[in-house]
């Protein structure tokens, strides 16, 4: 007999949406929520161009709609599924948190702008998804605008990202000539009838053999569709669910989020092909989600959710069992029993105190400053430890100095604490002190956050000098003779707080020089 725990976990789907800014992530999310009945009012996110993007997109929606959708996670029900969408902040909000969030997801939806193809931020996020081989579903958006050739788009995804694609549906035309999508499994054409002043496109589904199809399309479009169908069936990659679930084959749907065309079929295909939460690796074993003992790991820490207090929230992904409010748990890294109080779950329409949650869900708990990113929380006799969250390579660097030498102590304390929370990474010259600190960030907004927080929370003023480095790599082989490395003259050797050695490069050429001239040197873009 299926227990309630098994049933609850079985119906959970936890995924992140990855995209380059403006590809349509927010619009697509909003349409998903609409199907789940989480928000009554669908529409376009207006006025975004005029507002500063210093807050997450979802907070933008929140402001504009007067409803409370908050960053981190949105949960809603659709069919019999309980869906968790994890926010991957973009724009200036792009930070290491964006990458870490992907560690908590079981799959990803990749939104691509049909006129632009694969863009920079998508490329970066995709790379992180492949670390864990999670399934990736592609939604090629904005077909109501002039788009690139669909074959060229699929080829671009395959070439640039190194993943095979399988077209679930196929577009007929684009922009003004967009006539709909051909659903390959049902052999029907879902016709796009234009928006004609209404906000949502009419979607009429017609069998491909139906005579009306010929009337709806121009003779060229009809011929093209027939040729495409033949080509896709004859020459395309075979559909293989196992490869999808291993992240080797990405199912692709074409549509238009803004006009709400093709969104629901995409959501249904996605739900049918994804799995519930899967077992996760601990230091001792592979732990199944339906294990009765609750366990979770911290993937994000957000400081100052409430400006009046220096409070922090730790967001954790439940990996097994059931969470109950106020339960006693064991914090493995702190080696302490604690009570998980003030737990919050961020629902689509409110931030509610969560009474219970299951494997696959995300909860936010009040953090009195005890948690670090990657920490494990569990109950039961065995103390387990989930694989930690990697530290990802920052992309922007600055040298940071304390203005007032009398405040050295506060400066060191502040910058170290902020680094521990995971907002920034700090490095030192080898054998150097804390007088000059090199700060590395994934998104430039973090520099502003650092300056603001040091001033407001630690009363420390700093001077930041941007550095021209663009690439950083961890040296994996710890025993390598640093002095003997053959490096370009502008490459700098530094170390992190854990004593790992790293190299800073001004350009890709420098990275290539280092790897080509030092055959034994192993460089990585992330550190475990």
Please write down the HEC assignment for all residues of 425-489.
EEEEECCCCCCEEEEEECCCHHHHHHHHHHHHHHCCCEEEEEECCCEEEEECCCCCCHHHCCCCC
Please report whether residue 262 would count as binding ligand G4P according to CB under 6 A: no
**Among 14, 19, 95, 121, interactor with ligand G4P by CB under 6 A:** 19
Binding to ligand G4P by CB under 6 A, coded x per residue (else -) over 135-154, reads ------xx-xx---------
Shortest distance in whole angstroms from residue 282 CB to ligand G4P: 35
DSSP strand pairing (523-524 vs 471-475) = antiparallel
What are the phi and psi torsion angles at 375 (to 5°)? -65, 150
Binding to ligand G4P by CB under 6 A, coded x per residue (else -) over 64-93, reads --------------------------x---
Nearer to ligand G4P (CB atom), residue 46 or residue 498: 46
> How many C-beta atoms lie closer than 10 Å to residue 388's C-beta?
17
**Among 23, 102, 213, 438, interactor with ligand G4P by CB under 6 A:** 23
Total count of residues recorded for the chain:
528
**Among 1, 2, 41, 49, interactor with ligand G4P by CB under 6 A:** 49
Binding to ligand G4P by CB under 6 A, coded x per residue (else -) over 383-402, reads --------------------
- Supply 485's token pair: 């490395």
Per CB under 6 A, which region of 21-29, 205-213, 262-270, 302-310 contacts ligand G4P? 21-29
CB-based contacts of 315: which residues, under 8 Å, 6+ apart?
A: 72, 73, 104, 298, 299, 300, 301, 302, 362, 363, 364
CA of residue 494 relative to chain centroid, distance: 29
Please report whether residue 244 would count as binding ligand G4P according to CB under 6 A: no
Nearer to ligand G4P (CB atom), residue 64 or residue 507: 64
Short-list 112, 153, 114, 108, CA closest to 128: 108
**Among 86, 257, 263, 329, interactor with ligand G4P by CB under 6 A:** 257
Q: Long-range contacts for 53-56 (Cβ within 8 Å, ≥24 apart)? A: 53/21, 53/91, 53/92, 53/93, 54/92, 54/93, 54/445, 55/93, 56/87, 56/89, 56/93
Nearer to ligand G4P (CB atom), residue 44 or residue 507: 44
Please report whether residue 48 would count as binding ligand G4P according to CB under 6 A: yes
**Among 18, 56, 57, 294, interactor with ligand G4P by CB under 6 A:** 57
Shortest distance in whole angstroms from residue 124 CB to ligand G4P: 14
Question: Residue numbers of the site for ligand G4P (CB under 6 A)?
Answer: 19, 21-27, 44-46, 48-49, 57, 90, 141-142, 144-145, 256-259
């Amino acid at each position: 007999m299926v227990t309630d725990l098994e049933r609850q976990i079985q119906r959970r789907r936890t995924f992140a949406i990855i995209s380059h800014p403006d590809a349509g992530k927010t619009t697509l999310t909003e349409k998903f929520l609409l199907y789940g009945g989480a928000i009554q009012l669908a529409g376009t996110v207006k006025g975004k161009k005029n507002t500063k993007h210093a807050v997450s997109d979802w907070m933008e929606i929140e402001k504009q709609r007067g409803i409370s959708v908050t960053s981190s996670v949105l949960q809603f029900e659709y069919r019999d599924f309980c869906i968790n969408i994890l926010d991957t902040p973009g724009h200036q909000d792009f930070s290491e948190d964006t990458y870490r969030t992907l560690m908590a997801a079981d799959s990803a939806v990749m939104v691509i702008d049909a006129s632009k193809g694969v863009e920079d931020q998508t490329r970066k996020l995709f790379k992180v998804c492949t670390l864990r081989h999670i399934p990736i579903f592609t939604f090629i958006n904005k077909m109501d605008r002039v788009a690139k050739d669909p074959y060229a788009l699929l080829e671009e995804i395959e070439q640039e990202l190194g993943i095979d694609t399988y077209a679930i549906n196929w577009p007929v035309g684009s922009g003004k000539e967009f006539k709909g999508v051909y659903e390959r499994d049902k052999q029907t054409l879902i016709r796009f009838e234009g928006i004609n002043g209404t906000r949502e496109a009419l979607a009429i589904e017609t069998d491909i053999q139906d005579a009306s199809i010929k009337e709806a399309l121009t003779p060229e479009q009809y011929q093209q569709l027939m040729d495409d169908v033949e080509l896709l069936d004859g020459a395309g990659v075979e559909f293989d669910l196992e490869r999808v679930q291993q992240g080797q084959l990405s199912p692709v749907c074409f549509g238009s989020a803004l006009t709400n065309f093709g969104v629901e079929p995409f959501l249904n295909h996605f739900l049918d092909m994804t799995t519930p939460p899967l077992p996760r690796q601990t230091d001792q074993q592979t732990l199944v989600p339906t294990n009765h003992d609750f366990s979770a790991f911290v993937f994000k820490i957000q400081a100052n959710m409430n400006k009046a207090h220096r409070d922090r929230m730790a967001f954790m992904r439940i990996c097994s069992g059931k969470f109950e409010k106020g339960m006693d748990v064991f914090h493995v890294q702190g080696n302490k029993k604690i009570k998980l109080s003030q737990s919050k779950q961020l629902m689509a329409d409110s931030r509610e105190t969560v009474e219970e949650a299951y494997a696959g869900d995300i909860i936010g708990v009040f953090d009195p400053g005890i948690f670090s990113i990657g920490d494990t929380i569990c109950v039961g006799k065995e103390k387990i430890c989930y694989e930690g969250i990697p530290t990802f390579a920052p992309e922007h660097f600055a040298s940071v100095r304390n203005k007032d030498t009398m405040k050295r102590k506060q400066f060191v304390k502040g910058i170290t604490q902020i680094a521990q929370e995971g907002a920034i990474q700090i490095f030192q010259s080898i054998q150097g002190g804390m007088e000059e600190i090199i700060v590395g960030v994934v998104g430039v907004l973090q520099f502003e956050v650092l300056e603001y927080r040091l001033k407001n929370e630690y009363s420390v003023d700093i001077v930041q000098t941007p550095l021209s480095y663009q690439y950083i790599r961890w040296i994996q082989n710890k025993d390598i003779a640093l002095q003997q490395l053959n490096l370009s003259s502008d490459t700098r050797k530094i170390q992190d707080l854990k004593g790992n050695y790293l190299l800073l490069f001004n350009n890709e050429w420098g990275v290539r020089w280092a790897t080509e001239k030092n055959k034994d040197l192993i460089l990585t873009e992330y550190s475990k």
